[in-house]
Amino acid sequence: MRQLTPRGLQARLAAGGDLPLLLDVREPWEFGICQIPGARLIPMRQIVARLSQLDRNRETVVICHHGIRSQQVAGYLEHQGFTNVINLQGGVAAWARDVDPAMPTY
């Protein structure tokens, strides 16, 4: 499974072009505290039911709090035939630490 650091994601987003889907799999209460701009929330527990809402070929960066849930979801997506899935290493906690220190944390 591909991994991307927060700084790597920042560079990828700054490069423009076809931007990846930022798929945040945390719970709504977590997403309400902090989020990477442009992220789409589909909680982990809803992924199976909402799989048809995702493009199997679109570059998708999966995000959670520390990178554990997102890695599980990324693996599941790959198993379902998604071809371009990336896990954000360290999740939003690492994003706040390395990219956006003003982001609220929990």
> Is the Cβ–Cβ distance between 60 and 45 less than 8 Å?
no
DSSP secondary-structure letter at 67? S
* 34 has catalytic annotation: no
> Is the Cβ–Cβ distance between 28 and 6 less than 8 Å?
no
State in Å, rounded, how far the first CA of the chain is from the last one.
27
Catalytic: which of 9, 22, 54, 64?
64
Q: Rounded to 5, what percent of the chain is helix, strand, coil?
A: 40, 15, 40
Q: Which residues are catalytic?
A: 64
